[in-house]
Amino acid sequence: MDTIIEYLKITAKAAGYGEPKSIIEIIGSLISVFLSFLGIIFLCLIMYGGFLIMTSGGNNLKVIKAKKVLTNSVIGLIIIMSAYSISYFIINTLTKV
């Protein structure tokens, strides 16, 4: 069992993955993955809003719904970017300490 773990460590180092140095780096990585996932959701919502506008056919109710989706998506993007910048600042500050 120990030899398997040693081989996995050698493979991880060869692939460019080192062992995490602290819990702060692990939390930073998790936050980064989570915010990246939210960015993908934002992209899907923007595409959905564009699809709604293109297929509205001049129907005002569908256009209003599409604009609402796009507006809420942009507000969500602003919140995501703010959360990312705050978490990036905090993680960098804590790792320097």
pLDDT tens-place values along the chain, 97 residues long: 678 878 878 887 887 777 656 777 777 778 888 888 888 999 999 999 999 999 988 899 999 999 999 999 999 889 888 988 888 888 788 877 7
**Tally of domains in the chain:** 1
Maximum pairwise Cα distance, the chain: 67
* Cα distance between residue 78 and residue 49, in whole Å: 17
Domain annotation covers residue 86:
yes
Domain annotation covers residue 84:
yes
Domain annotation covers residue 1:
no
Domain annotation covers residue 48:
yes
Give kind and range of the element (H or E) at residue 74: helix 60-96
Contacts of 9 (CB under 8 A, 6+ apart): 19
Task: Say what the pLDDT of residue 60 is.
Answer: 92
Residue range of the domain that includes 90: 21-96
Domain annotation covers residue 9:
no
Domain annotation covers residue 3:
no
Query: pTM for the complete prediction?
Result: 0.66
Domain annotation covers residue 25:
yes
